[in-house]
Chains A and B, each alone.
Chain A
Amino acid sequence: MIQLKNLERSYKTPAGQFFVLRRVNLEIQQGEFITIMGPSGAGKSSLLNALALLDDAWDGEYWFREQAVHKMKRKERADLAKKNVGMVFQSYHLLDDLTVRENIDLPLSYKDIPHKLRQGMVADTLDRFQIVAKKDLFPSQLSGGQQQLVGVARAVIHKPPLLLADEPTGNLHSSQAKEIMELFRELNQQGTTIVQVTHSEANAAYGSRVIQLRDGWVVSDTANPELQPYEAVKQ
């Protein structure tokens, strides 16, 4: 589904160029459930943002179903992302002005989906996440965990083929976390490709493949045992 070739991301800082992703080569197959792990600051969120096509300031090649994303204009990338990607943000990013229901409805509102259908989808999702009672509250009236739930609901409502989740259970009670993971597994079984970032081994266990990042380098990948230890590459 996705192929990254020598993807690099760097920031210009006063101290010079600072790399957060280094020569990332990665192949993601349709239907995979991948977990990205690594210490804080390793570049996990950066990689996810690149995959989500939110970030477009990277170098290298990005192939999405045989389409050369690296050659696309910003607008084409945005369209591609809109059709294919759902994203759960590390810091939720709910809109304070909108109610829970409106927040969940947001991705649908940017697609040409008939109003009736949209209402049904929103109702289903509220139901599935058991937040019907909260549907008219504003995010500021929710607990952190509840906000995270809404963030997940919003990411999956339009059934994107690729679901990217940045620590989707960071603020959740372990039983709630388990429910989310069960949901992810279910989505995965229905064909959704999932890439999640997590620090939790338990969550990682739901996935089919684990990738370790360190200082921007992919240092191990369960699907690719031959991967050179990154110290060696670094030389």
Chain B
Amino acid sequence: MTGLLQDIRYGLRQLRKSPGFTAVAIVSLGLGIGANTAIFTLINQLVLKSLPVRDPQHLVSFGKAVDGGEVDGIGPGPLDIFPYDFYKQIERTHDPFLEISASGSFPVTVSVRNRPKDAARQALTQLVSGTFFQVLGVEAALGRTILPDDADAPGRNPVAVVSYRYWEEKLEADRSVIGRVITINGTSFTVIGVAPPPFFGAELNEQEPDMWLPITMQQQVTLQPSLLNPHGLFWVHMMGRLKEGTTPNQGKAWATQQLQRFMVTREGGTISDKRRREIGQMYIDMLPGGRGVSHLREQFSRPLYILMGVVVLVLAIACANLANFLLAKAAAREREISTRLAIGAGRWRLVRQILTEALLLSLLGSVAGLTLALVGTRMLVYFVVQGAKNSALTPNPDLTVLAFTLAVSVATGALFGIAPAWRASQMRVVTALHSARTATGSGIRSSRMLPNLLIAAQVALSLVLLVGAGLFLRTLQNLRNQNLGFNRRNLLLVDFNAKLGGYKSEQLRGLYDRLLNGIRTLPGVRSASISGTQPISPGSWTSPIFVQGYTPAPNENIMTFLNRVSPSYLDTVGIPVLQGRSIGREDTPTSMKAVLINQSVAKHFFPHGDAIGHQFTIADPSVPGVWRIVGIVGDAKYGPLRDEQKRMIYLPLEQLTADDHFAYSIQVRAEGDPKNIESEIRTALAEVDPDLPLLKVRTISQEVDSFVENERLISQLANFFSLIALSLACIGLYGVLTYNVVKRTNEIGIRMALGARTEGILWMVLRESLLLLAAGIAVGIPATIGVARIVRSQLFGLSSFDAATFMTAIGAIAIVILIAAYLPARRAAKVDPMVALRYE
């Protein structure tokens, strides 16, 4: 024990002796460990951590349950979204399960008045079944949770459980809040409970819900037609708690059987054999639910794993630097060490001293790393949740993270301490003392071997990282710069919701006119339009279409996306009309039903280019009648930027009725930067109706960027880390070369005394680093190709062997390495032989 203390004291003294290098070492390690900690914190929260609920290991999710919405026309394959009455049916028996719960597959933004005279505020709510809290095994912190009785029939009961955060921030942490009546979208609800502080529901998403409401109150909460009726749409996610001793597979078999039976009954007596077969291929996966469901996990776990790989490499490079540092120190102490050995010191003791020093360094580094990670994680989380304020993702490290950091720092300490310790243990007393006597100081060749190997390895790793970063950067550029099929200069997008504003379908026409006029008359506005969904965002309105005179092949996909647009839409957004005409003022509710199709639709249904004038019907019953194709427009990108062009048809907003007449998107084409007129537009819209909820205002560039978040995350961080890695490698090379030059001062002096020229000396040192560079790149290229193959699926618009990226990376490394090598080389060339010869 005292020995250990002594070692620690000795180690600290050693570190203090070279404060400059100790600082560089701690910063390098801090960067490496910090980056690892930051990425791991996120992986831990997104992927590893369990929900704060009872026995999370017994929870299963019915399918992935990450995509929300209302859908119909479900085909064969795995199912993860269900109609409410399916839930009602299987919840009655729930055989292999203790309980089954359902929740709305999308959060609902509502306007809430916490007191009668308070201003209405927006809040995020989640619709849940009466079994929801029981399945999760969560008790209220205050009051009670929603119980089965609260949600046993449509319209029952107007009760709410609020989140702990909402209670603290919006309800003044009032302990007498239970029983208070609040107004949600015009309906009175009674607060019955406050959820416990860590609880955020079963979904880990950008924003955690402010309150949970009975799913049976859906109509009052969503202000939409009921989704609770038999034969309703598919819109709920389900979870279950397995009975003790039941396996997920048993659950899967049972639920699948229930589902198929349900589907057969649902579709009535006359099901075609084909449909029967399709239903036979439907199934429900039982996935572990203990970590909750999360579309963020789906979206970000791969990028995060890639980044974890990146930061591990960065740490490896930092370790190599430190190993070199300690090797150099040990070499400088060779004489001391051999003297100690000669007078009888134990080798083990020496090894322990060196390892202690390494561990001290790595622990100091991990303290620096944790500090950096605190900042870094904050930025990462902000990025992942896109600035959402109330997220269940927190940047704060928990015990798992701290344990991880400790483990990493001990592992790194051991890693970079082992080489020097091994060297010390191998040292032979006689040779060391002997060479100390002859003392020409350049040391034996093999003493430069290990540092050189480490440098070459660093070069190789840097190449891997730089090429990877380059590939991701090019991918991001390719995704962003691809032709989207519309004009993305100076376009501003505004989301609004007339339904939340209390408008009825009949009032919309006037509202749209007033809104568009209000905007168009603003200076700096070129044009404006209204549509169902924004460019780029595909929306979720899809339906099969039946083109007259076109017989689809069996199983042919005849689905298309639908958008509803005002006459000025194509013009404003800049989608070209290729054939026929656009939608215009002449397309009124009473005129012929006109429709535009995009090129993809035209190609699919009219390979001979004769689409204009053809007619089709749309399966969606809310747009009945026969639609005549009046024009073909260019394909514009809808949906993820990697996806293929989608089929899209544009219906005149004017010709739609009831719910379909509601449009939620405004597009404004500005003369200049649309950010400059954002506030004028807000004012103009408020003048039309101050109570009209404006949900989101952003430029098209921001919108496009939101589709490349993963790519941005990977690309920016991979580039950032690869630059750090390259700098670390340079510092390492510079350090090793400088150290070598200093060690070889005497040798260099002799060579000069024997006639070597300064250029010769310069070249001698440069040649050494060129060799290291070449060796590193020779090893690095195959390694890079291997790694590039792993990330191939993340790339877009370029191959994983992209020559330009490889050349750029190699060029960058070569330049930086040569600069790092030139300084010590010049130092060597400036050696004064007189001084050098005295150098012992």
Contacts and interface: CB of A to CB of B under 8 A. Distances in A.
Contacts of B749: 93
Given A96-B444, A110-B760, A147-B438, A81 B755 contact: yes
Interface stretch (A20-28, A51-59, A122-130, A190-198): A51-59
Chain A CB count within 10 A is highest, among B752, B753, B757, for B753
A119 interface: no
Contacts of A91: 439
B834 A49 contact: yes
B585 interface: no
A57 B838 CA distance: 15
B438 A55 contact: no
Given A110-B756, A140-B435, A96 B837 contact: no
A107 B443 contact: no
A92 interface: yes
A92 B440 CA distance: 9
Interface string A85-123: 001010111111100000000110011000000000000
Given A54-B837, A55-B834, A139-B440, A96 B755 contact: no
A78 interface: yes
A96 B751 contact: no
B754 A154 contact: yes
A93 B434 contact: no
A138 interface: yes
Contacts of B434: 140
Contacts of A111: 755
B757 A139 contact: no
A138 B755 CA distance: 21
Given A140-B431, A147-B438, A52 B753 contact: yes
Contacts of A107: 754-755
A78 B753 CA distance: 8
B445 interface: yes
B747 A97 contact: yes
B61 interface: no
Contacts of B431: 140
Interface in A25-79: 49, 52, 54-57, 75, 78
A5 interface: no
Contacts of B837: 49, 54, 89, 93
A93 B751 CA distance: 10
A93 B443 contact: no
Interface string B819-840: 0000000000000011001000
Given A54-B834, A140-B431, A93 B440 contact: yes
Given A93-B837, A97-B444, A138-B444, A54 B438 contact: no
A110 B754 CA distance: 8
A76 B502 CA distance: 95
A144 B440 CA distance: 13
B757 A78 contact: yes
Among the interface residues B445, B751, B837, which one has the most CB atoms of the partner chain A within 10 A? B837
Contacts of A154: 754
Contacts of B435: 96, 140
Contacts of B50: none
Contact of A78 (B439, B441, B752): B752
Contacts of A57: 834
Contacts of A94: 438, 440, 750
Contacts of A110: 751, 754-757, 760
Contacts of B760: 110
A107 B445 CA distance: 21
A167 to B, nearest CB: 14
Contacts of B439: 91
B442 interface: yes
B747 A95 contact: yes
B443 A96 contact: yes
Contact of B438 (A75, A81, A92): A92
B28 interface: no
B745 to A, nearest CB: 12
Nearest to B434: A140
B442 A97 contact: yes
B753 A54 contact: yes
B462 interface: no
B754 A97 contact: no
B753 A93 contact: yes
Which of A87, A91, A138 counts the most B-chain CB atoms under 10 A from its CB? A91
Nearest to B440: A96
B750 A54 contact: no
Most buried by B among A87, A96, A106: A96
A107 to B, nearest CB: 5
A125 to B, nearest CB: 14
B746 interface: yes
Contacts of A82: 755
A93 B833 CA distance: 12
A178 B443 CA distance: 32
Contacts of A95: 440, 442, 747, 750-751
Given A54-B833, A78-B752, A106-B751, A96 B438 contact: yes
A47 to B, nearest CB: 13
A163 B746 CA distance: 21
A60 B833 CA distance: 21
Given A54-B837, A57-B834, A96 B442 contact: yes
B19 to A, nearest CB: 26
Interface centre among B440, B441, B754 (most CB of A within 10 A): B754
A97 B752 CA distance: 16
Contacts of B834: 49, 54-57
Contacts of A49: 834, 837
A93 B444 CA distance: 15
A68 B746 CA distance: 29
A166 to B, nearest CB: 10
Interface in B428-480: 431, 434-435, 438-445
Contacts of B750: 89, 93-95
Contacts of B443: 96-97
A78 B837 CA distance: 15
Contacts of B441: 96
Interface string A121-165: 000000000000000001110001001000000100000000000
Interface in B723-763: 746-747, 749-758, 760
Contact of A93 (B445, B746, B756, B757): B746
Contact of B754 (A55, A92, A106): A106
Interface in B635-688: none
A56 B753 CA distance: 12
A94 B744 CA distance: 12
B763 to A, nearest CB: 13
A211 to B, nearest CB: 22
A196 B399 CA distance: 75
A140 B444 contact: yes
Contacts of B756: 110
A109 to B, nearest CB: 9
Contacts of A81: 755
A215 to B, nearest CB: 20
Contact of A97 (B445, B755, B758): B445
A136 to B, nearest CB: 14
Nearest to A155: B754
Given A54-B833, A57-B834, A139 B755 contact: no
Interface of A: 49, 52, 54-57, 75, 78, 81-82, 87, 89, 91-97, 106-107, 110-111, 138-140, 144, 147, 154
Given A78-B752, A93-B746, A140-B431, 15 more contacts: A54-B753, A54-B834, A78-B757, A81-B755, A93-B440, A94-B750, A95-B747, A95-B750, A96-B435, A96-B443, A96-B747, A110-B755, A139-B438, A140-B438, A144-B438
Interface of B: 431, 434-435, 438-445, 746-747, 749-758, 760, 833-834, 837
6 contacts: A55-B834, A87-B754, A93-B749, A96-B442, A138-B444, A140-B431
The 3 closest A-B pairs by CB, nearest first: A82-B755, A110-B755, A93-B750
